[in-house]
């Protein structure tokens, strides 16, 4: 996952999408109402008042399945250094706290 994430993050379009807090898809000929999409990465700055916001987070992807539990891929940048962190099979909130600790 870290290798895939590293490659994906080198794509500027992917970085922009990953760092977007929210987006509104306007109505189309297939859907009459706007569709609101929100970034659910709890470390991202969209959750400015959240307990787990990590100021250096610049994007990533969260996920959950019964088999895999909480998974979290996070991109961060500080002092010119970029990192990717992957935490898998964690119970809430340890995927968040483990990521910031790492």
**Which pLDDT belongs to residue 38?**
86
- How far is it, in rounded angstroms, from Cα 21 to Cα 88? 23
Question: Do 42 and 25 form a contact (C-beta atoms < 8 A)?
Answer: no
pTM of the complete model: 0.82
Tell the burial category of 101 from Cβ atoms under 10 Å away from its Cβ (0-12, 13-18, 19+). Answer: exposed
**Which pLDDT belongs to residue 39?**
84
Kindly give the parts of the chain with pLDDT less than 50: none
**Which pLDDT belongs to residue 47?**
60
**Which pLDDT belongs to residue 80?**
94
């Amino acid at each position: 996952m870290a290798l895939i994430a590293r490659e994906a993050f080198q794509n500027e379009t992917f970085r922009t999408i990953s760092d977007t807090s929210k987006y509104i898809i306007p109505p189309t000929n297939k859907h009459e109402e706007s569709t609101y999409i929100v970034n659910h990465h709890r470390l991202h700055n969209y959750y400015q008042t959240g307990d787990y916001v990590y100021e250096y987070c610049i994007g990533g992807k969260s996920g959950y399945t019964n088999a895999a539990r909480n998974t979290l891929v996070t991109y961060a940048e500080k002092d010119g250094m970029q990192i990717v962190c992957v935490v898998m099979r964690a119970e809430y909130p340890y995927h968040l706290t483990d990521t910031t600790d790492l």
